[in-house]
């Protein structure tokens, strides 16, 4: 078993000058209230160990990291039928781009851009009726704890200002790619994005992706091993928007970012890892978090490549 404590301390020291750089996602007003000086990192190994540094126990808005978990649910519910309605290619455009959706006839490029996640939310709604509580129950199951909730102020803030997401939902509906009404889908989506979790919780929640689709401890199966592979592949190719190439080059792990400043990354058969620092680069990925992950794979020599 590897002890990552010293490496995490070294990374913490090295990224400190970057913490506070970049911009906060202030297009969601409630997120603008977070201090840009935060930095946390947690590693969950498949042996059941947790290593952490900095603000790793502080809850933050996981935003688009939730797209990994809602996709997992949609795969459980819909199987391959999902891919009739969503593509599996990197978008090469911003996560909330409208133009691509129009010229591709309402089929989102992948499940990790906003349009794709809206279709995923629609699928959950159609199957389970309640796309809020069912996602919360799923997160509780993944983390073996019930202390995870939506941040209703963030969900409300996004609802008040989410005009682009509303446009995307209406576009999808006009192309026949939403079964439920756009308002209901948006409400579910905004709540999924507002999930409030710490680095430790996110890393723990993502461990099934490193562990062949199974939870630690009781070994409960969340998805089949090949589905865990599919999700990791999508994270690698689509998880960090239009800087996915730069992220893969530097970090060498499947990763999924959120505009709250969190990133979940996965090393199959080894660990899941989460970083959090709110300052974002131009593509909406945490600046210090990306650097920390790059340092982690460089210093440990562990990456998928
Ligand atoms: N809730 C955010 C939005 O819809 C999620 C975007 C993100 O984290 N990249 O804009």
Is residue 272 flagged as an active site residue? no
Q: In a 10 Å sphere around its CB, with 0-12 CB exposed, 13-18 middle and 19+ buried, how is residue 146 labelled?
A: exposed
CATH 3.40.710.10 fits 4-300, yes or no: yes
Q: Which residue's CA is the nearest one to ligand 1's atom 2?
A: 63
For the stretch 77-122, pLDDT in tens is 999 999 999 999 999 888 899 999 999 999 999 999 999 999 999 9
pLDDT given for residue 93 in this prediction: 86
Residue 43 alpha carbon to ligand 1 centre in Å: 24
The overall average pLDDT reported for the chain is 96
State how far the alpha carbon of 251 is from the alpha carbons of 73, 247, 304, in Å. 27, 6, 9
Candidate list 119, 189, 194, 257, residue with the active-site label: 189
Average pLDDT over residues 134-163: 96
Checking if the pLDDT of 265 tops 90, the result is: yes
Sequence-separated (6 or more) residues with CB below 8 Å from residue 6: none
Per-residue model confidence (pLDDT) at position 89:
96
Question: Environment class of residue 140 by beta-carbon count within 10 Å: exposed (0-12), middle (13-18) or buried (19+)?
Answer: middle
Give the model's pLDDT for residue 31. Answer: 95
Q: What is the pLDDT of residue 293?
A: 98
Active-site residue, 223 included: no
Model confidence pLDDT, tens digit, residues 21-78: 999 999 999 999 999 999 999 999 999 999 999 999 999 999 999 999 999 999 999 9
Q: Which atom of ligand 1 is nearest to 259's Cα?
A: 8
Pairing of strands 255-257, 271-276: unpaired
Angle at 15 between CA 202 and CA 292, to 5 degrees: 40
| Residue of 160, 193, 197, 262 with the most ligand 1 atoms within 8 Å of its CB, for mutation | 193
The verdict on whether 189 is a catalytic residue reads yes
State yes or no: is 214 an active-site residue. Answer: no
Q: What is the pLDDT of residue 92?
A: 87
Atom of ligand 1 nearest to the CA of 64: 8
- Does the active-site annotation cover 291? no
Q: Give the Å distance between the CA of 258 and the centre of ligand 1.
A: 6
Among 82-86, 195-199, 241-245, 291-295, name the one with the lowest average pLDDT. 241-245
Q: Are strands 60-61 and 149-150 parallel, antiparallel or unpaired?
A: unpaired
At residue 1, the pLDDT reads 78
Would strands 271-276 and 40-45 be described as parallel, antiparallel, or unpaired? antiparallel
Pocket of ligand 1 (CB under 6 A): 63-64, 95-96, 114, 158, 165, 193, 258-259, 284
Looking from the CA of residue 284, the nearest atom of ligand 1 is: 9
Ligand 1 mutation pick, 241, 258, 278, max ligand atoms within 8 A of CB: 258
Report, as an integer, the average pLDDT of 203-220: 96
**How much distance in Å is there from the Cα of 259 to the middle of ligand 1?**
6
pLDDT grade for 174, boundaries at 50, 70 and 90: very high
pLDDT value of residue 215: 97
Cα–Cα distance between 223 and 125 in angstroms, integer? 19
Q: How far, in Å, is the centroid of ligand 1 from the Cα of 271?
A: 25
Burial call 40-56: b when 16+ CB within 10 Å, e when fewer: bbbbbbbeeeebbbbbb
The pTM assigned to this predicted structure is 0.98
Report how far ligand 1's centroid is from the alpha carbon of 51 (Å): 28
Percent of the chain beyond pLDDT 90?
94
């Amino acid at each position: 078993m590897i002890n990552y404590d010293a490496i995490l301390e070294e990374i913490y020291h090295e990224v400190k000058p970057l913490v506070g750089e970049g911009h906060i996602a202030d297009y969601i007003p409630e997120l603008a209230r977070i201090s840009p000086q935060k930095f946390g990192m947690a590693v969950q190994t498949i042996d059941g160990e947790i290593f952490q540094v900095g603000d790793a126990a502080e809850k933050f808005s996981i935003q688009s990291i939730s797209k990994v978990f809602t996709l997992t649910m949609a795969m459980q519910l819909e199987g391959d039928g999902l891919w009739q309605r969503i593509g599996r290619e990197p978008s090469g455009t911003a996560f909330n781009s409208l133009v691509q959706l129009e010229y591709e006839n309402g089929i989102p490029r992948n499940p990790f851009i906003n349009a794709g996640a809206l279709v995923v939310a629609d699928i959950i709604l159609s199957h389970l009726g309640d796309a809020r509580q069912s996602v919360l129950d799923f997160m509780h199951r993944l983390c073996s704890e019930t202390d995870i909730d939506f941040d209703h102020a963030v969900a409300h803030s996004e609802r008040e200002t989410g005009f682009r997401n509303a446009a995307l939902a209406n576009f999808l509906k006009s192309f026949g790619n939403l079964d439920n009404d756009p308002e209901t889908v948006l409400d579910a989506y905004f709540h999924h994005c507002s999930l409030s979790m710490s680095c430790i919780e996110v890393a723990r929640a993502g461990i099934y992706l490193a562990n062949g689709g199974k939870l630690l401890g009781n070994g409960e199966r969340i998805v089949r091993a090949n589905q865990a592979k599919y999700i990791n592949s999508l994270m690698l190719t689509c998880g960090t928007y239009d800087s996915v190439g730069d992220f893969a080059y530097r970090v060498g792990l499947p990763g999924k970012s959120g505009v709250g400043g969190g990133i979940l990354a996965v090393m199959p058969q080894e660990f899941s890892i989460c970083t959090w620092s709110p300052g974002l680069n131009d593509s909406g990925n945490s600046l210090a978090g990306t650097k920390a992950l790059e340092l982690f794979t460089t210093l440990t020599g562990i990456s998928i490549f």
